[in-house]
């Protein structure tokens, strides 16, 4: 890295907007937002970088040459799964078990809902092919692999245009020789196919989890590979020589090569940066826990930060597809600025989940969109300034918004356009409040105890309404709200999770063997982290342990020192404690022995993080920032009123103002409604409080 490569850029590609966070040493960070280009998202990335370059009077090439790090979050794999738009994928498996993927152990998650239907599998049944060969539970060969059947399967995949192939054979966690042989044959037969081998993706016992994860990995592999190739060549084309890192679902970042080989680790790449940034802004206000709501153009994501860290999900599922890899706990619903308003068969007003996306976009963008969206409603309600959207770079056409609302909502309901817009505003807020319930109340947590950090361009217009519905007394709108996930990407650590099966009684274990496995995994992690330019590395070791004859494990963190000292007693004590804390009892006194199942290593690499700068304080007065008044809808009073409009960029830490009011920034507008009052914090966050202490 040359001394001139001082810039860092976080890039979050969403369904509608591509967000960028630009940070350069000794300068205040800046945010940028451009429209996404769904046909080739890497084009939007370049457009975004061009916007940064222009703002700094640089050419794109000059910016690229001075940039040392680009961290990128992408939704290409997520969308491929959700829309079933992934690669044409085949599965090679053991005879007799090809339906495990589809049958999902026979679960119906909603037991009393007879309209809840089976999940459509990522690989259709006629492309799930058995090949002869069998190992037993100890990894011993019962029947040799039948190479002819592998070749026949390859021929069928070729004929069907298969792009990716997953290989998952019974007991391959115990011995991977059959899977390796299948992989070799497939590489010879179908050199262009993208292969996902279960003993590489997830070498642990439990066939269903392994086959589901391996298949998902295959399904999104070719898409991620071609996307990363396109992105890499575009960046190289403008002379970028710095490090490109990709956001992973576990909240860490990694090199493109690394995620390209394990594409299933990017399934929540897009929103995974947000919680880190939310934790940083809330932490600056002394809050260790917070709720993050991110309202983009297409989707609304809600997640939780507990004790300063993003909450990891226990389920490991995406849209009912099991993915047995560490993933953040993020609830996503189809609600955003582009959500379309429509009237259902029963005559009720609905919002989304369809979105107008970036193209054609909301009607008011004037790009051919004719359906009324949330953004159109926000414009008609006076919340957006048609001449100052995106700082004036994207003029809005109010008459088109009104016309679309008239035709599709107000007309059918026989109400005024403004009433219809107010209805659209209320309905989408209710939908988003439901998303917040998913992540809090459904888990038995009271949302009122968490300050709500608001992200996304449209989020701050709707935050007070969502908070009011859930009685959340405190809202934080960070200065980088509209691009918070991109901000978070520059704050995340490099992180890699490794796991290896290692079955045996703990007492009889050869600690030297165990240590060498740990060393091997840690060395792999260290190697990856060094390639990624980590300044400081750490390797956290954990063991999956259980009592003899139990089927499930408890993951217990251990010190490498315990291993080196051979201190089994310390390891056992950690397990007994964890078992009691989680499950209400332990068998230390009964004297039940322990079994080891898996060894885990999480390798974490730190690199320099941007400091969020503190701004010079101002007084409580905010009149200096008042830039005018605008007619806008007052939800609490169900009528229009004249609202003061403040210039968000002129507000200083300590400035206070009461609701109702609008605070405009280039990339976001904050609607402050009663009973909320706003105050600017030292890092530029606008903090909205009702004045009520948090509920007991």
Binding site for another protein (CB under 8 A): 95-100, 102-103, 105-118, 124-126, 136-137, 142, 170-171, 173, 205-209, 441-446, 448, 470-471, 547, 549-552, 554, 579, 582-585, 587, 592, 696
Closest CA to 655 of 675, 677, 628: 677
Which is it for the CA torsion 256, 258, 263, 268, positive or negative?
Answer: negative
Count of alpha carbons within 13 Å of 465, Cβ hemisphere only? 26
Cα 318 to Cα 303: distance, rounded to the nearest angstrom: 15
Q: Least Å distance between CB 467 and another protein? A: 12
C-beta closer to another protein: residue 105 or 649: 105
Which DSSP string do the residues of 67-108 spell out, in sequence order? Answer: EEEEEEE--HHHHHHHTT-S--EEEEE-TT-TTHHHHGGG--
Cα 440 to Cα 434: distance, rounded to the nearest angstrom: 10
Q: Least Å distance between CB 626 and another protein? A: 35
Structure tokens at 335: 């609600």
Which DSSP string do the residues of 122-152 spell out, in sequence order? Answer: SS-GGGEEE-S-EE-TTS-EEE---HHHHHH
Contact 538, 526 (CB under 8 A): no
Cα 498 to Cα 503: distance, rounded to the nearest angstrom: 16
Is 484 in a helix, a strand, or coil? Answer: helix
Q: Least Å distance between CB 206 and another protein? A: 5
C-beta closer to another protein: residue 3 or 552: 552
Q: Which residues contact 183 (CB under 8 A, 6 or more apart)?
A: 167, 195, 197
Q: Least Å distance between CB 199 and another protein? A: 13
C-beta closer to another protein: residue 126 or 569: 126
Q: What is the CA radius of gyration of the chain?
A: 27
C-beta closer to another protein: residue 303 or 607: 303
* 133, 155, 669 from 161: Cα distances, Å: 26, 10, 48
C-beta closer to another protein: residue 58 or 312: 312
Q: Least Å distance between CB 18 and another protein? A: 37
Q: Least Å distance between CB 475 and another protein? A: 17
Cross-strand pairs, 362: none
Structure tokens at 636: 């609490």
Q: Least Å distance between CB 443 and another protein? A: 6
C-beta closer to another protein: residue 515 or 592: 592
C-beta closer to another protein: residue 215 or 563: 215
Q: Least Å distance between CB 208 and another protein? A: 6
C-beta closer to another protein: residue 94 or 280: 94
Q: Least Å distance between CB 582 and another protein? A: 7
Structure tokens at 137: 């539970």
């Amino acid at each position: 890295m040359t001394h001139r490569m001082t810039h860092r850029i976080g890039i979050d590609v969403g369904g509608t907007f591509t967000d960028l966070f630009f940070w350069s040493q000794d300068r205040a960070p800046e945010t940028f937002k451009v429209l996404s280009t769904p046909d080739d998202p890497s084009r939007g990335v370049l457009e975004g970088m061009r916007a940064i370059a222009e703002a700094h009077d640089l050419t794109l090439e000059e910016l690229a040459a001075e940039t040392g790090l680009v961290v990128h979050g992408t939704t290409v794999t997520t969308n491929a799964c959700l829309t079933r738009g992934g690669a044409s994928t085949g599965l090679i498996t053991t005879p007799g078990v090809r339906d495990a993927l589809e049958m999902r152990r026979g679960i119906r998650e909603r037991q009393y809902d007879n309209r809840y239907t089976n999940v459509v599998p990522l690989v259709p049944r006629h492309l799930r092919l058995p090949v002869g060969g069998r190992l037993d539970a100890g990894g011993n060969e019962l029947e040799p692999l039948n190479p002819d059947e592998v070749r026949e399967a390859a021929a069928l995949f070729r004929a069907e245009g298969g792009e990716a192939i997953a290989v998952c054979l019974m007991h391959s966690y115990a011995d991977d020789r059959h899977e390796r042989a299948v992989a070799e044959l497939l590489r010879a037969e179908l050199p262009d196919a993208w292969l996902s081998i279960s003993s590489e993706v997830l070498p642990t016992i439990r066939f269903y989890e392994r086959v589901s994860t391996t298949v998902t990995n295959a399904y999104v592999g070719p898409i991620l590979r071609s996307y990363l190739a396109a992105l890499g060549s575009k960046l190289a084309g403008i002379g970028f020589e710095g490090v490109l890192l990709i956001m992973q679902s576990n909240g860490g970042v990694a090199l493109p090569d690394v995620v390209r080989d394990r594409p299933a680790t990017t399934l929540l790449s897009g929103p995974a940066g947000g919680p880190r940034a939310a934790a940083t802004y809330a932490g600056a206000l002394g809050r260790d826990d917070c709720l993050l709501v991110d309202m983009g153009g297409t989707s609304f994501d809600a997640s939780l930060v507990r004790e300063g860290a993003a909450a990891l999900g226990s389920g490991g599922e995406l849209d009912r597809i099991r993915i047995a890899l560490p993933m953040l706990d993020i609830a996503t619903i189809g609600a955003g600025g582009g959500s379309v308003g429509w009237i259902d068969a029963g005559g009720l007003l609905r919002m989304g989940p369809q979105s107008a996306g970036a193209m054609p976009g909301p009607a008011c963008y004037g790009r051919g969109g004719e359906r009324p969206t949330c953004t159109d409603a926000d414009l008609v309600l006076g919340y957006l300034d048609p001449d100052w959207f995106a700082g004036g770079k994207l003029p809005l056409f109010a008459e088109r918004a009104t016309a679309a609302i008239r035709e599709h909502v107000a007309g059918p309901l026989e109400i005024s356009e403004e009433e219809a817009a107010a209805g659209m505003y209320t309905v989408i807020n209710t939908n988003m409040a439901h998303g917040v319930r998913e992540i809090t109340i459904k888990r038995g947590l009271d949302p009122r105890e968490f300050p709500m950090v608001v992200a996304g361009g449209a989020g701050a217009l709707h935050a007070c309404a969502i908070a009011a519905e859930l009685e959340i007394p405190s809202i934080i709108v960070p200065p980088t709200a509209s691009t918070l996930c991109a901000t978070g990407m520059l704050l995340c650590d490099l992180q890699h999770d490794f796991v290896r099966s290692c079955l045996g009684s703990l007492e009889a274990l050869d600690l030297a063997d165990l240590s060498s496995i740990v060393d091997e995994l840690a060395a792999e992690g260290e190697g990856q982290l060094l390639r990624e330019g980590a300044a400081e590395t750490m390797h956290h070791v954990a063991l999956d342990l259980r009592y003899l004859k139990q089927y499930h494990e408890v993951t217990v963190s251990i010190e490498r020192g315990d291993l080196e000292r051979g201190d089994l007693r310390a390891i056992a004590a950690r397990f007994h404690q964890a078992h009691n804390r989680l499950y209400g009892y332990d068998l230390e006194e009964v004297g039940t022995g322990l079994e080891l199942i898996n060894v885990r290593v999480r390798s974490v690499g730190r690199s320099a993080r941007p400091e969020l700068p503190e701004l010079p304080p101002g007084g409580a007065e905010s009149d200096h920032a008042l830039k005018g008044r605008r007619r806008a809808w007052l939800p609490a009073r169900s009528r229009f009123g004249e609202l003061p409009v403040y210039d968000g960029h002129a507000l200083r830490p300590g400035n206070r103002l009461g609701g109702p009011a609008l605070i405009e920034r280039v990339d976001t507008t904050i609607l402050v409604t009663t009973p909320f009052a706003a105050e600017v914090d030292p890092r530029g966050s606008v903090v909205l409080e009702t004045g009520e202490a948090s509920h007991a």
